[in-house]
Amino acid sequence: MSEKKKESVLAGFKAFLMRGNVVDLAVAVVIGAAFTNIVNSLVKGIIGPLIGAFGTKSLDGYTSCLKGPCSIDPKSGEPVGVNILWGAVLNAALTFLITAAVVYFLMVLPMAKYLAKVEARRKAKEGVHETLEVTELEVLKEIRDNLVAQRTGSNGGPDVANGHEGTGQHRGGSAG
């Protein structure tokens, strides 16, 4: 029985791995990691120096001393005091914003426009179909009303002159 259970667990695991969602997620993670390197290079190589033109050459150089004196101990190379590294936070925030903007404008927005077009086409096809159904329903109601009018009409009999014969059966209303 353990052999059968082991096979079912392995079969379940294989089915889990081969599901489209898991494979798509793995691809997304790999592409996202590669994309992160591109964005980090963009921030370090272009955005950082542009901002650094007004101060230090790197965003990581922007700091504030909370408890002084803030310096590097020359003997041990360790920082002395409490230094707030807000430049590193700014760097991370810019990286996030640029990544989010690129993903939105190059991936999300075009995909949303494409899906909207597909949905509009689908609704247009359904709309034509619904219009036909409504028209058919209205025609059937008119036929029913005409049959009822013929049965209960002033001449009291079937309308043979127009090629219609009453069957005596109809839905709704009372038989006359």
Please report, for the chain, the start and end positions of each structural domain, with discontinuous segments joined by +. 2-119
Predicted pLDDT of residue 154: 52
Distance CA(145)–CA(148), nearest Å, equals 5
Own/partner pairs for 10-16, CB < 8 Å, 24+ apart?
Answer: none
Two tokens at 170?
A: 């109809």
Nearest to 79 by CA among 89, 66, 90: 66
Nearest to 150 by CA among 161, 139, 138, 136: 161
First to last CA, the chain: 75
Q: CA angle, 9 as apex, 7 and 11 as ends, to 5°?
A: 65
Please, what's the largest Cα pairwise distance for the chain? 120
Predicted pLDDT of residue 18: 75
Q: Are 73 and 80 in contact (CB under 8 A)?
A: yes
Predicted pLDDT of residue 60: 74
The residue count for the chain: 176
User: Going residue by residue through the chain (176 aa), what tens digit of pLDDT does each one get?
Assistant: 566 777 788 888 888 777 767 777 888 888 888 888 887 787 778 877 777 777 666 677 778 888 778 777 788 877 777 888 888 888 888 878 887 887 788 778 888 899 999 988 888 887 766 566 667 888 888 899 999 999 987 554 444 444 444 444 444 444 44
pTM for the full model? Answer: 0.46
Predicted pLDDT of residue 2: 65
Predicted pLDDT of residue 131: 61
Cβ neighbours around 87 below 10 Å, total: 20
Predicted pLDDT of residue 76: 83
Two tokens at 75?
A: 């003997």
CATH number for the region 2-119 comes to 1.10.1200.120
